[in-house]
Chains A and B, each alone.
Chain A
Amino acid sequence: MSRFKLILDISKTHLVSKFKQTAVAALGVTFGIGAYIIMMSFMTGLNGLLDGLVLNRTPHVQVYNKTDPTVVQPIHRYRADSSDAHYIHSIKPKVRLERIHNAIPILAELKQQDKVMGATPQATCKVFYLAGSNKLNGIVNGIEVDEEIRLFNFKDYIVEGDVTGIKRRKNSILLGAGIAKKLSLQVGDRVQVMSTSGATFSLIIAGLYQSGLAEVDDVQSFVDLKMAQQILGAGSNYISRIHVKLEDIEEAVPMSKTIKDLYDVEALDIKTANAQFDTGSDIRTMISYAVSITLLIVAGFGIYNILNMFIYEKMNDIAILKATGFTGSDVKWIFITQAMFIGLIGGALGIVLGYGVSVLIDNTPFETEALPTVTTFPINYDPAFYIMGVVFAVVSTFMAGYLPARKAQKIDPVEIIRGQ
């Protein structure tokens, strides 16, 4: 019988004969690991949901024209060599068109890039929604609906009606749910839209758009790009924004810089646009890790305690084993093996518990006005949490078992035998 098998055999006998204590110690690990998995699955699921809410529909790079004061004024160029200080009071921004200059070639060029998954043009127009004598402020975005669906999950936010309707019938609109409610309109009804120049258009409501953010749903509607250009009274080259989605979100910062340098436009990357959002996610993840690790440490102390007591009870056995030729390291491994057993069994049950409760949470109804696409609590079934859980269980039980086991290794059998 090999040494390993013998140690395993002795450990097993010990564990079985102390079934209750073993079970209590293992349950400690089970709850620790289970809670860790539940916490992480739920927290990251929630993070994913919130990220999705904002990030999935946020373009990785937004390209538009910005109105801001010119940094280099003519006087700077004219008297560049002079050491005089120039003071210019009340600089006004230069008038710039809202449309992107040369938008169609830029769009074509962006689409050809390897790093770019896709780019969509938008034409934004400020409008009034008319209902009787009421005028509601609003914004209508002209979009290429197929690309928006492909790149930005646009379809998820259409709660009623048919999303492709605006493509099939040019004079139709996807109306913000807030507006529809205020004007008591339904899919199939007509809505009057007045442009800033005074022209009115009568559009058929093809569907209702709900983002979950009330201030957006109260103003925002979507039409086909060509319809928007018609409302604006502009040609087919009128594009006010380009939304770019990249293959890899990490490329957003350098890409936006390249675009800014290459073309005469402003480019905003997702990192800058959602900085505070990332921070929120990070902090939530950090808190869940802190709580989980605390739980595991508590479970570890439980094992430490039980093994410590166990070794005190087993003093005689340790002395006898040593007297009959077992080495200190044999004895140490007998107790470490027991700790690892507890860890593995507890960890395995913890995975089952974690998965079970996760499924339960996943099927708990969670319906909220703000999140039209969500019907149950979000859970992230990332296998990494389960692997981490087992690794944690094994490592922490090893450590908790190691210290008492080392004490057992050092026990002097003569002292025990004499002490009787």
Chain B
Amino acid sequence: MEAILETKNINKYFMQPVKFHVLKDISIAINRGEFVSIMGKSGCGKSTLLYILSTMDTAYEGELYIEGELMSTKTRNDLARIRNEKIGFVFQFHYLLPEFTVLKNVMLPALKLGRESEAVIKAKAMNKLAILGVEEQAHKKASRISGGQKQRVSIARALINDPKIIMGDEPTGNLDSKNSENVFNILRDLSDQFGLSLLVVTHDTEFAKKTDRIIEMGDGMVF
């Protein structure tokens, strides 16, 4: 199986308040189309690892490959471009831009990528919103919709550029069980139907059990 994302011996230290070895020799690989969850107790470094994998955190030692391409040596602007093109994000908190409409929120990463015309992007964004069942909300302001809806909108946003991999940091952590279930099913469908790779950090065992593979972490190491 082809690895979409791979790390070799990633180490990270926190310098403040005292030097602390957060991640110790992490070497993992996520294959194309795989739905993987990372589990572990609070403070074991799972979120820290996710931020490194997402290319947002560049202060680490070791090598990170996305589609076989080495990320560790790239400039911040190159990494922004790669995030834009290849990685979709879903956060625990919904993180939409409150002044913009739902539709605009979904469109922005694609507008930034600039691969297609605005009209095409708009149609595509409506389509993604429809997949997630929130197309009626498209023209409302992002600050005017409910938490569950926001999370679905942010999944639509993560999908807009047809990314290679979707990463989630506790995407259901802030939702009630019904919405949580809903969001999980959506992610599961994306993996099954569209063959998307997914990497989700969670401490919800129920959630993790239903994924393809669980990476367990503790004290900065992968078990």
Residues in A lying within 8 Å of B, measured CB to CB: 1-3, 6, 9-10, 13-14, 16-17, 316-317, 319-330, 413-414, 417-418, 420
The 6 closest A-B pairs by CB, nearest first: A325-B84, A17-B99, A327-B80, A324-B109, A325-B83, A414-B51
**Given A327-B80, A414-B51, A417-B169, CB of A322 within 8 Å of CB of B56:** yes
Tell me which of A2, A320, A326 has the highest count of chain B C-beta atoms within 10 A of its own C-beta: A320
New A-B pairs, 16, CB < 8 Å, besides A322-B56, A327-B76: A1-B118, A2-B114, A6-B111, A321-B108, A323-B91, A323-B95, A324-B112, A325-B81, A325-B85, A325-B112, A414-B51, A414-B56, A414-B57, A417-B91, A418-B51, A420-B92
Assembled-state Cα–Cα distance A418/B14 (Å):
14
What are 18 A-B interface contacts by the 8 Å CB criterion?
A: A1-B111, A1-B114, A1-B118, A2-B114, A3-B112, A320-B95, A322-B56, A323-B91, A324-B83, A324-B157, A325-B81, A325-B84, A325-B85, A326-B84, A326-B112, A328-B77, A417-B91, A417-B169
Contacts of B54 in A (CB 8 A): 323
The answer to whether A330 and B112 touch across the interface, beta carbons within 8 angstroms, is yes
Q: How far is the CB of B53 from chain A (nearest CB, A)?
A: 12
Residues in B lying within 8 Å of A, measured CB to CB: 47, 51, 54, 56-57, 76-77, 80-81, 83-85, 89, 91-93, 95-100, 104, 108-109, 111-114, 118, 157, 161, 169
**Given A324-B83, A324-B89, CB of A329 within 8 Å of CB of B77:** yes
Q: How far is the CB of A321 from chain B (nearest CB, A)?
A: 8
Dominant secondary structure at the A interface = helix
Q: How far is the CB of A330 from chain B (nearest CB, A)?
A: 7
Contacts of B92 in A (CB 8 A): 420
Contacts of B77 in A (CB 8 A): 327-329
Assembled-state Cα–Cα distance A388/B99 (Å):
35
The answer to whether A328 and B56 touch across the interface, beta carbons within 8 angstroms, is no
Assembled-state Cα–Cα distance A146/B54 (Å):
88
The answer to whether B84 and A420 touch across the interface, beta carbons within 8 angstroms, is no
Contacts of A319 in B (CB 8 A): 95
The answer to whether B84 and A324 touch across the interface, beta carbons within 8 angstroms, is yes
The answer to whether A324 and B108 touch across the interface, beta carbons within 8 angstroms, is yes
Contacts of A16 in B (CB 8 A): 99
The answer to whether B118 and A322 touch across the interface, beta carbons within 8 angstroms, is no
The answer to whether B57 and A328 touch across the interface, beta carbons within 8 angstroms, is no
* A9 nearest in chain B by CB position: B111
**Given A14-B99, A317-B97, A414-B51, CB of A326 within 8 Å of CB of B56:** no
Assembled-state Cα–Cα distance A328/B106 (Å):
20
The answer to whether A13 and B100 touch across the interface, beta carbons within 8 angstroms, is yes
Contact with B114, one of A3, A323, A329 (Cβ below 8 angstroms): A3
* B87 nearest in chain A by CB position: A325
Contacts of B114 in A (CB 8 A): 1-3, 6
